[in-house]
Amino acid sequence: MFKELKKQCLEANLMLPNLGLVIQTFGNVSIVDRKKRCFAIKPSGVPYADLKKQDIVIVDFDNRVVDGAMNPSSDTKTHAYLYKQWKNIGSIVHTHSTYAVAWSQAQMPIPILGTTHADHLVTDIPCIPPMDNELIKGDYEYNTGVQIKDYFSSEKLNPKEVQMVLVGNHGPFSWGENSKKAVYNSQILEELAKMAYLTLQINPIAPKLKSTLIEKHYQRKHGANPYYGQKK
């Protein structure tokens, strides 16, 4: 019943170590099936080298295991909450990639310094403040999802346009319309974090990218009349 969904989820998860975005058992990818109101996600604590299709866990939006013998990722409640709140996302990725985590531990957004950044979004990559103590003591993983959604609402950020975020003292989350795009965004987030770090090592007062360049690079890929790449 869920063979294809599990296959896609396995393949997406195995991309993370291949791209250098995870070590050991860190991180996870989930893929949603909107019609069946459930999603596939990596099992908790399983090394990527040992991961098999049958290990992938199917969970509904209320965090109940629908199919699978293993415990789902400890971040499952975060994924479930975001799927319920944001209807247009099809996959979520969470990693502990080095440079993105460094920015989240510094509790700083990743500034938009160059055109590589502007090719993907027109703002800094946001960093959400660390969670309040009472929320940490409560339903922590669920509250992480609430924290992300509430921050986007309060800052008037559109998750279709800003498909990546840092959670303060925790790490990066990214998403997309499918697993390929979500993993791509995770890789881009890590590279932008690395580029920004190196730029500020060379020049600690490097200025942000000028607005005309931001507009040009974003619009040529994502605007009404894009001309980057090939016609579909």
Q: What is the pLDDT of residues 61-109, one digit of tens each?
A: 999 999 999 999 999 999 999 999 999 999 999 999 999 999 999 999 9
Structural tokens at position 64: 């109940």
Average pLDDT, the chain: 96
CA 111, CA 109: separation in Å to the nearest integer?
6
Proportion of the chain above pLDDT 70, given as a percent: 100
For the chain, the domain total comes to: 1
Does the residue 231 lie in any domain? Answer: no
How confident is residue 56, by pLDDT bands cut at 50, 70 and 90? very high
CA 31, CA 92: separation in Å to the nearest integer?
7
Q: Name the packing angle between helices 76-85 and 140-154 (round to 10°).
A: 40
- Which range marks the domain in which residue 175 is found? 3-222
- For residues 97, 193, 129, 44, the Cα torsion angle rounded to the nearest 10 degrees is -10
Mean pLDDT of 169-179: 98
Does the residue 229 lie in any domain? Answer: no
Does the residue 232 lie in any domain? Answer: no
Does the residue 133 lie in any domain? Answer: yes
Q: What is the pLDDT of residue 1?
A: 81
- Please indicate whether residue 142 is annotated as part of the active site: no
Mean pLDDT of 192-198: 98
pTM listed for this prediction: 0.95
- Please indicate whether residue 55 is annotated as part of the active site: no
Does the residue 206 lie in any domain? Answer: yes
Does the residue 13 lie in any domain? Answer: yes
Q: Of these residues, 33, 67, 119, 124, which one is catalytic?
A: 119
H-type alpha helices, 168-228: 179-202, 211-222
Q: What is the pLDDT of residue 154?
A: 97
Does the residue 100 lie in any domain? Answer: yes
How confident is residue 231, by pLDDT bands cut at 50, 70 and 90? confident
Does the residue 23 lie in any domain? Answer: yes
CATH number at residue 51: 3.40.225.10
Structural tokens at position 178: 């499918």
